[in-house]
Homo-oligomer: A and B are copies of this chain.
Amino acid sequence: MMHIMSEKGAAGGGLRERKKRATRAALAEAAVRLAAEHGAEKVTVEAISAAAGVSVRTFFNYFDTRDDAFVVIDADAGARIRRAVLDAPAALSPLEALHGAMAAELAETEQQHELWRLHAQVLRASPHLLVRSLGAHMADETALAEVIAARIRSGGRPVSESAPGSESAPGSESAPGSESAPGSDEERREALDLYPRLLAAVASTAVRTSVEHWCARQEEAAFLDVFREVFALLAAGLPAPHA
């Protein structure tokens, strides 16, 4: 049971942490594989737990809901994207920086054909799970918005940012100066609060739409090309195409 693990992400120090990550990954992988074979709705928590070599109760110790096991495949992808946004060249606009960061992440994810493929297949088979997947992305959205806000405030200069991906102390995300910056102009402050939110949300939507479009016309075009096209449309202000 759960011998070989990807050892992905930060190879944690403690043995305890490693085991926790291992069981979590084992559960998620078992869930996806079983769902790909028998259909997501026919896979019980008992089956997943058995395949991962743990008890049913332990499953619910790691996931709040049965569906979460199918959805949360890479827990710290969001952290990598945030780091990439902060490290992006100052010359890039926020939209371009986001595009680059997400494209890089998606390119990496695409390389692990096997599981990613199965995962997409499972989500496609039951739209119910696609929604939850989107919800998982939404959780990262506010954190991403704060990073975007920080980048804008700093004028694009690389932000040192204290411990970007560390989940060691959950609870208070301690974003850099989230409530200071009393703008002189009321409208500007309003915009500065609204813009990062909107940008983060739209970027998530861009990912989802690209995936959907790519799934519909599969193999007809490279995924990253679709993704690029989407960001081009966004940057152009979504102009009306001529029929």
Within 8 A of B (CB), among A146-161: 152-155
From B130, B132, B238, contact of A198 by CB (8 A): B238
- Interface of A, helix, strand, loop or mixed by DSSP: helix
| Chain A 62-95: CB-based contact to B (< 8 A → 1; otherwise 0) | 0000000000000000000000000000000111
- Known A195-B233, A197-B209, A229-B191: A238·B134 in contact at CB below 8 Å: no
Q: Which residues of B contact A226 (CB under 8 A)?
A: 194
Closest Cβ neighbor of A196 among chain B residues: B241
Closest Cβ neighbor of A213 among chain B residues: B194
Q: Which residues of B contact A2 (CB under 8 A)?
A: none
Within 8 A of B (CB), among A103-143: 127, 130-132, 134-135, 138-139
From B95, B190, B213, contact of A238 by CB (8 A): B95
Please give the residue numbers on chain A whose beta carbons come within 8 Å of chain B beta carbons, in ascending order. Answer: 93-95, 127, 130-132, 134-135, 138-139, 152-155, 178, 188, 190-195, 197-199, 201-202, 204-206, 208-209, 212-213, 216-217, 220-221, 226, 229-230, 233-241, 243
